[in-house]
Amino acid sequence: MEKIQLEPKIVFDCFAEVNKIPRPSNKEEKMMAFLMDFGQKLGLETLQDETGNVLIRKPATPGYEDLETTVVQSHMDMVCEKVAGLEFDFENDAIQTYVDGEWMKAKGTTLGADDGIGVAMQMALLADDTIVHGPIECLFTRAEETSLGGASGIKPGFMTGKYLLNLDSEDEGEIFISCAGGANTQAFFDVKKEAAPADSYFFKVQVQGLVGGHSGDDIEKKRANANKLLARVLYKFMDYGVRLADIQSGGLHNAIPRDGYAVCCVPMKYKEQVRADLNVMAAEFEQEYFVTEENMQFELGSQPAQDEVIDKQTSDNLIKALVGVPNGVFAMSQDIPNFVETSSNLASVRLNGNVIRISTMQRSNLTSKRLNACDIVRSVFDLAGARTETNTGYPGWFLNPKSPLLQIAVDAYERLFGKKPVVRAIHAGLECGLFSEKYPEMDMVSFGPTLRGVHSPDEKLLIPTVKMVWDHLQEVLKNIPKKA
């Protein structure tokens, strides 16, 4: 099979440079320094705000000075997930990429194309003086994946553009004009340690190999949640008086959990029964998710006896709450066909010291529905005796049906590819929601190349779509309206 060419070369060269720079969310200092140096070496006005966002301004192509200023925006941070057992330091190691057919992937980690490929397109735009455009401002925000902290911290006046092109979407041929708002709800169980019951069998029960994915964009794709499956197993083991010694399950707040484990004990007489029950439940789970979870695995292995376990009341309350808390799609849109309106993701359950922390995330395109989803989740954990809190969250981005920029983007796509793009909303958070609060007159759209498996080590980038988006971006930029 002929090896696919990485075109446009300038974009993929920039992406290779981006992937050399460690950039975990909230630890983007190396990426900030890289971008500041990049802009300054090009002789362009390069700024950084108090939050850490970087803005690089490039003057218009001669003859296009009368066009309105356009902001081209992406986020510099990435989700840092890796396969179990892989030794990889996201704060120091470069992402190792490879090509598999038409896809670019990473070796055992997230690829970082969310949103490193957007960053690469901005860098190419700034470096290539043959591209026709009016005045542009390339904005690189930080902490998008954890808190939208960069967009949240940006102040009015930092950007001066009338139009904004967000390069953080994941389906080529689709133009996004609305997104969900989100909030994080956490629950905390205070743990008391007790002496382990005598004559106990200690074991570790583990689920792994799930697909996972983005807790917004993939929430309706019928994938299993590792925390929910583990909770069902533990609930069954309550028949035998199971006691928890440790639980570490799930990962990032905005990722559907792929794996997790609990260390438990039961009376020795039930040693074989828990193993037999797990085999039965594993077969049931495989039947429930036979389409979406082909690599699901369950393991139960003996563990050394421990002196202490979590007190029985907390252990029982935690397990019941994890079984009872809603997860997945809450409601579909009233007016957009086949579009998720409201959802919740049970993201992680972790014992640290004497506290078990449960992290969840609620999303909705309607603020009232998001608040209600947070209340539903909190009420379950409140009833179980946990302390709960919900952060202020971030707003959704509401549809502008009279958007001139949308029409420009649609017309540009039709000219290039001879077909209409899909115009839609997304059930994930985009920074456009926060921009719209501080820049209410700014007209925005979002588009990008095709990505799959984002927020997981299965993340991959469909190579041919990069050139399509690159061409589309240039076509939009040279058709921005003139200043009034």
Q: Which residues are catalytic, by number?
A: 77, 144
CA distance 124 to 477: 14
- Are the C-beta atoms of 28 and 142 separated by less than 8 Å? yes
CA distance 62 to 77: 33
Q: Dig out the tokens for 476 from the structure.
A: 């939009």
CA distance 259 to 250: 6
